[in-house]
Every structure is written in structure tokens, then in C-alpha cells.
Amino acid sequence: MTAVTSAPTRFSTALYVFAWLSFLAEVIIIATGGTVRLTGSGLGCTEWPLCTPDSLVPTEAMGVHGVIEFSNRLMSTVVGVLALVVLVLVWRRRAERRDLFVLAWIVLGGVLAQAVAGGVTVWTGLNAFLVAFHYTASLVLVCVAAAFLVRLYEPAGPRERAVPRGYAALVHATSLVLAVTIAFGVLTTSNGPHSGDADVVRNGFDATILAHVHAWPGYILLALTLAIAGIAWARRLPTRRWSLAFLGALAVQIFVGVWQANTALPPLLVGIHMVLAALTSAAYVVVVLRLKRPARA
């Protein structure tokens, strides 16, 4: 008897459109948040949720820094609205697609939590650890939004392993190395010269030492990724295309990282490095999800 799999659940076109828009918005807000930090606009709005003690929006006296900071706050609203729309669109199918319903809730809840975290970051005068947490949380939301997109195009129901056990273990071990690389990268950036505001002085870790420590797991990650992609293509595993995409994104990320480290950390390159970290992580999420396939009936 021929084994079959259930067909993917079909949703409204609107859900596919807004799911993609939500993912793109999560990436864009990393770029706008990076712009705030790298232009020294972190305290462009000195208060939260208001911009000043007496105004919701920036005043003329606050100059361009106030506009940049407030624009990022507006982008947060866009991200939240899109996440809410996705949740509403998937609401009626929550019984049959609980996975999508849970992921949609995580994104919306994360966006709301991020708004509060941003406010606390302003209240504490851009504490380096809170700045690092704020960025890391945004990166995680990009990954969750990517997972939502992957599952959106797959059928409901149980899933089974689609790759050899050893290969799956290698991929999961690489996840840990990726997390360590990102953690040290975030610490390096948050303690680097771009403090987010001209009046903020970092007295934490030595960013120069952290940059070297950040590079070590990065090169290990590259070696593991080469192995993952090589094995996937040699054995024609379902992860092969996305492992190659992850490898490409990681290679560009390393190139930009080395470039910025040798050119005194120009803001544009640092911003690109921040966005690439999110896209690289999202690609890796797809690789992990491709380790399994819908269970055969």
C-alpha cells in the first residue's frame, strides 16, 4: 500500500500575506532599532511612553535624534498591529492548527513585552545589558515568525524524523554554538563604541577582548555548517537547500564582521551585521524544522 501524507491546510490569502509582512516587519524593526543606537539617538525621546514629559511626539528642540527614536517607536506599533492581524486570521482555525495559534500568540506577546523592555531601557539610561536583551528578544521574534511561516505551508498533525539520527544530533549541537556566537556578538556590540547616545559611557566588558572571543565560536560555527550542508547534499536530505542558504548567510555575516572589525566599526557595517544575524538565525530555524516531516498515514 502506498504511504501518503495529509495535504497542507489551506488558509485565506490574507493570512499568507500578513504572515510574510509580520516577518519582514520583525526584521525591519531590528534595522530601525539599530539606526537608533548607531546614530546616538537612544535617548532621542527622554521618556516612555511619552517622548518628553509633556509631549507624546518629539518636539522641534529635540532635533533629528528625537525623530529617529520616535520613528522606531512607530515601527513597533506597525509590528504589533501586524502580529495582532495574524492572530485574528488564525483564530478560527486554532483547534486544528494549534501550532500556528501558539506561535502567533508568542509573536504578539513578545512584541508587547518588547515595548515595555524598550521603555525600561530608556528609563535606565540605556543600560548595556538591557540594550543587549532588547536586541536578542527581537532576534528571537524573527525566528518565531520564520517558524510560523514554515508551519503555515505544512499540514497539521504529528511529524517524524526525516534525517539520520546522527545528522539531527549534529544540527542540534550546532544550535548551541550558534547561540553562543550570537550571545558574545551581542555583548561585544552592546559594550562597543556605539553606546546609543553621546552621553552614555560604557564601563562593562572590554569590547576588544569580546570581539576576539566572539570570533572563536563563529569559526567553529562555520566549520559545523560546512559539515551540515555537505552531508545534506551528499545524502540528498530535505535540509539541503536551506542548509546552503544558512551557509551563504553565515559566510556573508562573517565577512561583514571581519570587515567592520578592521575598519573601526563603521555604523553602517555594524547595522548590516545586526540585521544579518537575524536573517542567519531565521534560515537556521528552517534547517531545524526540516529535520522532520509530516508523519505518514
Give the DSSP letter string of 165-234.
HHHHHHHHHHHHHHHHHHHHHHHHHHTSS--SBTT----SS-HHHHHHHHHHHHHHHHHHHHHHHHHHHH
Using DSSP's 3-state secondary structure scheme, residue 292 falls into strand
Within the chain, residue ranges assigned H as helices are 13-38, 63-91, 98-123, 128-152, 165-190, 207-234, 240-261, 267-289
User: What are the residue ranges spanned by the domains of the chain?
Assistant: 12-157, 160-297
> What pLDDT, on the 0 to 100 scale, is given for residue 2?
40
- Report the candidate in 161, 180, 178 with the shortest Cα–Cα distance to residue 239: 161
Cβ–Cβ contacts within 10 Å for residue 237, how many? 20
Ordered per-residue pLDDT tens for the chain, 297 residues: 344 455 566 788 999 999 999 999 999 999 999 898 888 888 888 888 888 888 888 888 788 988 999 999 999 999 999 999 999 999 988 888 999 999 999 999 999 999 998 889 888 888 878 888 889 999 999 999 999 999 999 888 888 989 999 999 999 999 999 999 998 888 877 766 666 655 555 556 666 777 778 888 999 999 999 999 999 999 999 999 999 999 999 999 999 988 988 888 888 998 999 999 999 999 999 999 999 988 875
Q: Could you please report the per-residue DSSP string of 250-262?
A: HHHHHHHHHHHHT
Q: What one-character DSSP code corresponds to residue 50?
A: S
For residue 207, the model assigns a pLDDT of: 65
pLDDT at 61: 79
pLDDT at 295: 80
CB within 8 Å of 147: residues ≥ 6 apart: 103, 285, 289
Of 80, 57, 68, nearest in space to 32 by CA: 68
Beta bridge partners of 161: 292
Q: 41 by DSSP, 3-state: which?
A: strand
Cα separation, 52 vs 60, in Å, equals 12
Contact 293, 238 (CB under 8 A): yes
Residue burial 109-122, b: 16+ Cβ < 10 Å; e: rest: ebbeebbebbeebb
Contact between 239 and 227 (Cβ < 8 Å): no
Neighbouring-strand partners of residue 294: 159
Q: What is the pLDDT of residue 8?
A: 61
